[in-house]
Structures are given as structure tokens and as C-alpha cells.
Amino acid sequence: MTGLRSTSDLLVSHGHHFGRTVFALCNYPSLLTNGILRLEQLEDTPLEDLSAEERREHRVFEQLLDLYPGLLEQLKDGSEEEILHVGELIGKGAAGTRGDDTKMLKSAIDHGFNHELTGSLLCPAGLDWNDPRIKENLRSGEMLVYPWWGLLRSRLLVYAYKHVFTSPSSVDREPKAMRSGNAHLHGMNLVTIGSLAYIATQVQFALSSSSVFSQTDTTTDSETFYHSLLDLLEDLEECKEVDELLTWWNRQVFPASSAAKRAITPTLSKIRQ
């Protein structure tokens, strides 16, 4: 019984981290069942012949296998009921931590551009929040900028990311490894596309008037928002901008990592020329 419980706890813990850093909103039992079936299908069918949705799901499945050695063997040796149970445990972990993060960030974040402090945190990198014209245009929604200009580079997002991954106490300190943080507990030393989309979605919800996070919430439509971010960040045509974005993020959160030491093209200065 103790061994079974420890295995269950481990799978739930895997779900905590995987949901935050790779893929937050999915049906995990279906992900595992479809993934096993697709491995057999891919013995005769190239991955390129699958639909875009199937390719994404399979990439997520492969990332799950890569993160947790031994999981594939466990799934191959298990019955259909056991595979579904593993998926339910991982899904339980992902949903539980998402709910905890939602409550934490909802209480830690105030209300958008109309609040002076939150507005300064939301202000895109490269824009001066103290300029009354910029402040008014951001509040009215009339500010039109180059799509990548400041996208996902606000201080509020960094604040929320540290709150979740390097512990709330690290928010106001110089970035460094926090032994109590979720990143350290899971050996995480790089910002991932999945974790960035996850935090942006959590912040988008925290700034809304909705009180309960739901995939069917038509007010914030968090699931569509989350998937749209993933579509953008995984778009091969945007890889240069995404690489620069991740380098910027690693400098904010994991400055000691090799990814934080890459050069960033001065996109903003090019736009202004």
C-alpha cells in the first residue's frame, strides 16, 4: 500500500510540474491513451501525415515521456484501466496546482492599466508608463505597436513567474536559485514556452473579474488564450523572436543559465530607426 501511495504521489507531483511548464489544459488520460496508440501508428505512418492537432498532442506526449524516465515502460506494460488511472493522477496534479496558482495570483495582482501600480507592471518593455499620452492610450486600448514590441515582457509577468516558480519571497530580490521554489524542486533552470504561456494565462485571468478558473469561462476564454499563445510561440516563422524572448526571460529568472547569456538583437531600436 505504501509503495502504491508513493507512486501515486509521484505521478501527481509530475502533473504539478508538467502542467506548469509544458501543457496545462488537456485531458491527460486521453493524451496517454492516444499517445500509446499513435506510437504504433507511426511505425507505418510519417508524423507529417498527421493533422496539426495530432502532431501537437504527440509532441506533448513525447515531452511527458522525456521528462519522466520509465513512464513509457509503465504505460506499455499496463492495462487500459491502469493507463487511464496514470493519466487521471497526472491530470489531478496539473489541475490542483493550477487552482492553487490561480488563487495565489488572484490575491497578489490588482486590476489592469486603470490601477497605477499594476499599469506600470503591465506596461510593455520600451514604453514609458510615466508619459501621460502612453498611459492614456494603453488605458483606452488605442496603443498600436509592433506585435513583438514588449510582448510578454512586462514586469507583472516576471513578478507572477517568480511568485510561482522561484517562491513569492524571491519577487522583490535579485534573481537567484531559490531552494524552496518549484523550479529548484524539479531541477528547472530554463524558462520554457509552456511555462510562459501558463503564467500569461494565469495573469490574464487574475486581472479579470471572474472568481473561478474554468476552461468553459466565456468571459476570459482562458483555454483559447492559452492555445493561441502556444500557437504563436511554437510558430517556426517566429523562432527568431521567440528565441530572443526566451533569452530575455532567462535573464530575468535564471541569470546564471547559459541561455541567459545569448545576445539579444535590439529589436526596439531597429523599429525606431
Q: What is the per-residue pLDDT across 183-207, written as a single tens digit (0 to 9) for each?
A: 666 778 889 999 999 999 988 888 7
Report the alpha-carbon angle 11-17-19, nearest 5.
95
Residue 220, amino acid: T
The rounded mean pLDDT for the chain is: 79
One-letter-per-residue 3-state SS of 204-243? HHHCCCCCCCCCCCCCCCHHHHHHHHHHHHCCHHHHHHHH
What is the pLDDT at residue 179? Answer: 47
Q: Say how far apart CA 201 and CA 212 lie, in whole Å.
A: 13
Query: What percent of the chain has a predicted confidence (pLDDT) above 70?
Result: 72
pTM, entire model: 0.61
Q: Is a pLDDT exceeding 50 seen at residue 88?
A: yes
Q: Is a pLDDT exceeding 60 seen at residue 178?
A: no
Per-residue burial over 178-216, b if 16 or more Cβ lie within 10 Å, else e, is beebbbeebebbbbbbbbbbbbbbbbbbbbbebeebeee
**Model confidence at 171, in pLDDT bands (50, 70, 90)?**
low
